[in-house]
Amino acid sequence: MSNTFRLDVAYKKHRLDFRFDAGTSRGVLKSKDTYFVSVGKEGEESVKGWGEAGPLPKLSIDDILDFEEILNAYVGKLKNEEFKWSQEGILDFCHSFVSDEHPSIRFAFETALLDLFHGGKKQILENAFYSENQSIDINGLIWMGDVNFMLQQIEEKLKAGFSCIKMKIGAIDFEQELSLLAHIRKNFSADEITLRVDANGSFSPSDALTKLDRLAKFDLHSIEQPIKAGQTESMAELCEQSPLDIALDEELIGVGKSSDRKRLLEIIRPPYIILKPTLVGGIKDTKEWIALAEELGIGWWMTSALESNIGLNAISQLTSSYNTTLPQGLGTGQLYHNNIASPLEVKEGKIFYNPEIAWDKA
């Protein structure tokens, strides 16, 4: 059954302000612009679905100067479109309607239409996270900064009950980063605290293996993207030789064709891939990456890409629709002074959907 109604579609820009200077290997973030997309049936103002298009600065392929102009054009076209009014019909439509070059817009439309399809209740998919209060294990994220700031974050995450910590590395002196990892391991064994590190491509192919050898001494779970994306052969060699499991992250961005995705995974054969729907093409494309990874025996986990709680809610529900065993990267909802108030809560290293807490208006 196709939709037999016209859509009322709109968007608005929102600047998210960080609670602190968020350091990455690509620079320091103080704020982040995002765009909330609302979709309703024309004439039915009370029920709306919401999605979020939030390109990640200096990383998303749709982090472009004319992004808002492009989003506005898509919004105008969507009002008159007809498509199969079902979960799969919506995902298929969004995949063909929005170009691979605009993954965050595709994710926003998928989320908003699926929310509307389920009655405008912020339910995106059938999942136990939303409907059964099922929690998802998450990692605690340690942002780059000086040694004291990073150490403070580590201690806060441990006190908050996280059993998995992810530390961004590559911005300060490598020896100092090693000393921080040594500090954690001095007090907590690998059985007590799982440690992940994210290099964001900061190592060079010539020194990566040496650094991986030194990092492996701290019983780390994995390292994300040790070298910059696009060096396929070098990454394949690293995955084969590294004493530490490697997870691909930025490597997946901009790979839009199914055949190219499969070829990339077959050549590199990483132990893990990390999936950010905003960056890799949305919900349907994330599902495809998961299917390809599982076919090849590659592990995966989901990570948010600094979205507000609108996007984080959708990613959490997508995650919950799978039987995950690894901690996920879904702890970014508390980063902002002015996030959208929501039922999402983080306690003891887990994220929950608390139906007793109401959503604020986007």
Give catalytic residue positions: 168, 276
Alpha-carbon Rg for the chain, nearest whole angstrom, is: 20
The H or E element spanning position 36 is strand 27-41
Report the DSSP pairing between strands 136-137 and 48-53. Answer: unpaired
**Which of 316, 309, 354 is CA-nearest to residue 334?**
309
Q: Check residue 273 and report its DSSP letter.
A: E
Calpha distance 254→246 (Å, rounded): 20
Q: Where would I find the H helices in the chain? A: 67-78, 87-97, 103-117, 128-131, 147-159, 174-187, 208-216, 232-241, 258-268, 277-280, 283-295, 309-320
- On whether the CB atoms of residues 75 and 10 are closer than 8 A, the answer is yes
- On whether the CB atoms of residues 38 and 48 are closer than 8 A, the answer is yes
- On whether the CB atoms of residues 332 and 339 are closer than 8 A, the answer is no
Residue 108 dihedral angles phi and psi, to the nearest 5°: -65, -45
The H or E element spanning position 352 is strand 350-353
